[in-house]
Amino acid sequence: MAGVGSRSGVSYDARGLVEPHAEMPDNIEVDGGRARFDAADLTIRQINMALRKLIYNDGIVDVTVLNPSSKHSLAVGILKRCRIHFEGSPGWFACGLIDGPEVTINGRVGWSLGENMMSGVVVVERGGGSLTGAAIRGGDLIVKGDVGARTGIDQKGGTIIVMGDVGINTGFMMQRGRQIICGNAGANLGDSMYDGQIYVAGRVSSLGVDCVPGEWTDADAELIERKFRVHGLGKPPQFEKFVCGKQLHNYDSLEPSERKLVI
Amino acid sequence: MCGIAGVIHRDGTADIGAELTAMLQAMKHRGPDSTGYAVYGPADDLVVIRFVLAEPNHSTGFGMEERLARNRMEVEARLAKIGAEVATVTNDTGYAFRATVRYSGELKPLADYLEDVPGCEVLSLGSSLEIIKDMGDASTVSEQYGLGSFRGTHGVGHVRMATESEVDLASAHPYWAYPFADVAVVHNGQLTNYHQWRRRLEQSGHRFQSECDSEIIAVYLAEKMSGGLSLETSMKDSLDDLDGVFTYVCVTGNELGIAKDEMAAKPLVLFESDELVAVATEEVSIRTLVKREVETRDPYEREVLVWQV
């Protein structure tokens, strides 16, 4: 069955599973510490194999991937400091679980960009799908266009900056970290959040359960100005701050082990 | 998890059979169990009927060939009896047929009369709509039914991963909005007030081909439109009336519309140009059609968009 569906660059085995195609691509150009290759005719597995070999085995610190063609799960799990450039649009789950890379994407992205990312920087020149920055632990994730619903759901750290609008349930159950939204925010912003800060420059359709306006401090202004300066995003607009009201979850109770010690 | 795709050409006919096949095959990972198409060719005076006389899973066995031949003759006899002049009957597989007839009467009695033949299920009826669906991936179904050469203005497709109903033809999308001509729906999601709406629509005289929740949407919309509402208004009403998480695409003889539920829980990507509108669950599907970097976007929650041919 190999080759079925190859028009899209994706093929499947007889069970309907994605065909592994484990051959290393032969179109990689290396120049010193830099490398580039065209991913148009490569499978997802081949692209990721090439990235890992170049970064981990060959000591390459700067890789350019041409024509990712909206393929899924690219540059996932790279745990080393390096630079990766996508000339085009990756698909879903791009840059998930990364720890260290600086990634630039000269296109848009599908759902779940940078899911569970631990550190590093991801900059997307256009928009993104839903679940952008889901459960990120650290690092900076910047999208210069609009993104879909549930941005930063379950966020545990790091900073998400969206220069456009965000959809419904942004910041749902976020636990730590910051979201800086330059456009409008859909309904239920910060619903059931535990902690963290959400800054919105545009209109907020509605606040979610236990999300309340927060007190603006100098530290907030300093943080936003620094992030905009570092990433070359221009002059930041005026933001409103939203935080957790701390009424929904039981914050004042001690953990069972602590309670035992007190007793 | 399923994958849906739709395409509408604003500047005339194109190879929509081949286009939808490529789009759906790129999303095979979203559902390899069955694949379906609702494609619209040029409308003419003939009524096109797509029907099956057996489930693919039960289309072989002792005496089945004779039974299928007997039932096919019965269908043709009934067509003649109800006043439909048969122009052509072709057989794509042993159990799936395409008939064109000259008929100016009501479609509901025609569909009901045909479905009275044992094993007969009318997949679609209309002047330009043709629903083709079967087990397997898009390439398999397309090859089986010769869809590579189908030319038309618009269409939708669906790849299905069975989660809540059988892997069979009755549960495969698209769904024709029985008994309304030229209306079909593909859906990704789950409807949680399915039984409530099914009872309500059955009491209004509608029948359902399957136990699949998605069929509700097709019949719901068609009933609204038969009451004089536009496709867009009907789809907007559905956002309040249907519960659950869903993204669906509805097609009529000259329109294609998309609707996303209030939670925006199910994905859809949209590409629009002067010549073409393409929608799909994943952008990788659209990229089979437009082989360059394109400006796409994810429609937001409660968005309803309709395009004309």
Taking only the tens place, the pLDDT of each residue in A55-93 is: 999 999 999 999 999 999 999 999 999 999 999 999 999
Q: Please determine, for residue B42, whether its predicted confidence score (pLDDT) is greater than 70.
A: yes
Decide: helix, strand or coil at residue A171: coil
How does residue A96 score in pLDDT terms, banded at 50, 70 and 90?
A: very high
A71 to B263: CB separation less than 8 angstroms, yes or no:
no
Q: Which residue has the tokens 């393929």?
A: A71
Spatial separation of the C-alpha atoms in residues A14 and B236, rounded to whole Å: 41
How does residue A8 score in pLDDT terms, banded at 50, 70 and 90?
A: very low
| B300 shares contact with chain A (CB less than 8 Å) | yes
Range in A117-121, B116-120, B163-167 the model is least confident about: B163-167
| B287 shares contact with chain A (CB less than 8 Å) | yes
- Chain B positions touching A69 (Cβ under 8 A) are 284, 287
How does residue B161 score in pLDDT terms, banded at 50, 70 and 90?
A: confident
User: Edge-to-edge, what's the strand order for the sheet holding B47-52?
Assistant: B85-91, B96-102, B47-52, B121-126
Give the pLDDT mean for B171-195: 91
- Chain B positions touching A149 (Cβ under 8 A) are 263-265, 300-301
Spatial separation of the C-alpha atoms in residues A151 and A128, rounded to whole Å: 10
How does residue B207 score in pLDDT terms, banded at 50, 70 and 90?
A: confident
Range in A197-201, A254-258, B63-67, B249-253 the model is least confident about: A254-258
A5 to B265: CB separation less than 8 angstroms, yes or no:
no
| B143 shares contact with chain A (CB less than 8 Å) | no
Decide: helix, strand or coil at residue B169: coil
Given this model, what pLDDT does residue B154 score?
Answer: 96
Given this model, what pLDDT does residue A20 score?
Answer: 58
The Cα of A187 is separated from the nearest Cα of chain B by a number of Å equal to: 9
Given this model, what pLDDT does residue A6 score?
Answer: 45
- Chain A positions touching B287 (Cβ under 8 A) are 8, 69-70
B263 to A18: CB separation less than 8 angstroms, yes or no:
no
Provide the 10 A C-beta neighbour count for residue B114: 21
Degrees to nearest 5, angle at CA B292 with B286 and B294 = 65
- Chain A positions touching B282 (Cβ under 8 A) are 70, 72, 91-92, 110
Mode of pairing for the β-strands spanning A34-38 and A29-31: antiparallel
Annotate A111-124 with b (16+ C-beta within 10 A) or e (fewer).
Answer: bbbbbbbbbbbbbb
B139 to A148: CB separation less than 8 angstroms, yes or no:
no
The Cα of A198 is separated from the nearest Cα of chain B by a number of Å equal to: 20
CA atoms within 13 A on the CB side of B208: 22
Give the pLDDT mean for A48-61: 95
Query: Which of B284, B285, B298 faces A130 most closely, judged by CB atoms?
Result: B298
Q: Please determine, for residue A4, whether its predicted confidence score (pLDDT) is greater than 50.
A: no
B25 to A89: CB separation less than 8 angstroms, yes or no:
no
Q: Tens digit of pLDDT for each residue in B253-269?
A: 999 999 999 999 999 99
- Chain A positions touching B263 (Cβ under 8 A) are 149, 168-169
List B2, B120, B212, B250, catalytic entry: B2
Q: Tens digit of pLDDT for each residue in B96-152?
A: 999 999 999 998 899 999 999 999 999 999 999 999 999 999 999 999 999 999 999
| B25 shares contact with chain A (CB less than 8 Å) | yes
| B297 shares contact with chain A (CB less than 8 Å) | yes
Please name which of A6, A7, A57, A63 lies closest in space to residue A38, comparing C-alpha atoms: A63
Spatial separation of the C-alpha atoms in residues A38 and B307, rounded to whole Å: 36
A8 to B26: CB separation less than 8 angstroms, yes or no:
yes
Q: Is B212 a catalytic residue?
A: no
Q: Please determine, for residue B81, whether its predicted confidence score (pLDDT) is greater than 60.
A: yes
How does residue B167 score in pLDDT terms, banded at 50, 70 and 90?
A: confident
Given this model, what pLDDT does residue B244 score?
Answer: 94
Q: Please determine, for residue B93, whether its predicted confidence score (pLDDT) is greater than 50.
A: yes
Give the pLDDT mean for B73-98: 94
How does residue A21 score in pLDDT terms, banded at 50, 70 and 90?
A: low
A167 to B297: CB separation less than 8 angstroms, yes or no:
no
- Phi and psi based region of residue B57 (left: phi greater than 0; alpha: psi -120 to 50; beta: remaining): alpha
| B298 shares contact with chain A (CB less than 8 Å) | yes
Q: Is residue B119 packed enough to be buried (19+ CB in 10 Å), middle (13-18) or exposed (0-12)?
A: middle
A18 to B29: CB separation less than 8 angstroms, yes or no:
yes
Q: Tens digit of pLDDT for each residue in B21-32?
A: 999 999 998 988
Report the predicted TM-score, pTM, of the whole model to 2 decimal places.
Answer: 0.90
More confident residue, B44 or A211: A211
Range in A5-14, B88-97, B248-257 the model is least confident about: A5-14
Given this model, what pLDDT does residue A84 score?
Answer: 98
How does residue B205 score in pLDDT terms, banded at 50, 70 and 90?
A: confident
- Chain B positions touching A88 (Cβ under 8 A) are 293
Query: Which of A5, A70, A168 faces B283 most closely, judged by CB atoms?
Result: A70
